[in-house]
Amino acid sequence: MVDRKIWMVVALAAILWFFTFAVDFGNFWLKISISASVLAIGSLILSKPSKSDYRISTKSIVIGLASAIVLYGIFYLGNFISGLLFNFSAGQVGSIYQKGDGTNPMIITMVLLLITSPAEEIFWRGFLQKNLMKKYGNWMGFIFGTLAYGLVHVWSMNFMLVGAAMVAGAFWGLLYFRFRNVSMLIISHAVWTFSIFVLWPIR
């Protein structure tokens, strides 16, 4: 995978995330579903995935579930600390949750579990970080992948969301760095997003 193709795909991700977050038209959950799916499908076309990247085992399930709990705890603590440090944090966190206003919680649940979580991990870690690590080495690939994942969220104009994306991206990026297992990350991502957006929102 040459540099040009990698960064062209990152540019596409930036365009799609602009459409999702900055364009005040249409349902947010529909837009994020389309954007994530386009990236996932495109990545599968450009680079045939390795079976080993998607192996499912008891270990991958347990670590996936446990890591989702750990990440939820990190965000719970982070929300408390940010509330002490930034007087705007509550409003910005609230605006993230407002994106779900007017949408049936069951639809949000299905989108999180079946579309966005799998699609994002297939693209961001299973394709982008994997290829960046091959091209630039493990640590630089991890750093570039994390920065790309966080920075595409700048279109939201929400400091708390960008920070949250950086933290979550680094967390899942390190999991991929260590285990090279996308299925594990899909479980982690899906359980975490379902927990934080539907079951036990932090706000």
User: What per-residue confidence (pLDDT) applies to 191?
Assistant: 98
Query: Residue 133, Cβ neighbours under 10 Å: how many?
Result: 21
User: What per-residue confidence (pLDDT) applies to 3?
Assistant: 74
User: Cα dist. 201→125, 166, 183 in Å?
Assistant: 25, 19, 25
Interval 85-140: pLDDT, tens:
999 999 999 998 888 777 888 999 999 999 999 999 999 999 999 999 999 999 99
Take residue 56 and report the two structure tokens written for it.
Answer: 């499912």
Positions of the chain with pLDDT under 70? 1-2
User: What per-residue confidence (pLDDT) applies to 52?
Assistant: 85
User: What per-residue confidence (pLDDT) applies to 48?
Assistant: 82
Q: How far apart are CA 187 and CA 12, in angstroms?
A: 25
User: What per-residue confidence (pLDDT) applies to 20?
Assistant: 94
Length of the chain: 203
For the chain, the 3-state helix, strand and coil shares in percent, each to the nearest 5, are 85, 0, 15
User: What per-residue confidence (pLDDT) applies to 32?
Assistant: 96
User: What per-residue confidence (pLDDT) applies to 91?
Assistant: 93
User: What per-residue confidence (pLDDT) applies to 2?
Assistant: 55
Domain range spanning residue 65? Answer: 3-199
User: How many domains, in total, are found in the chain?
Assistant: 1
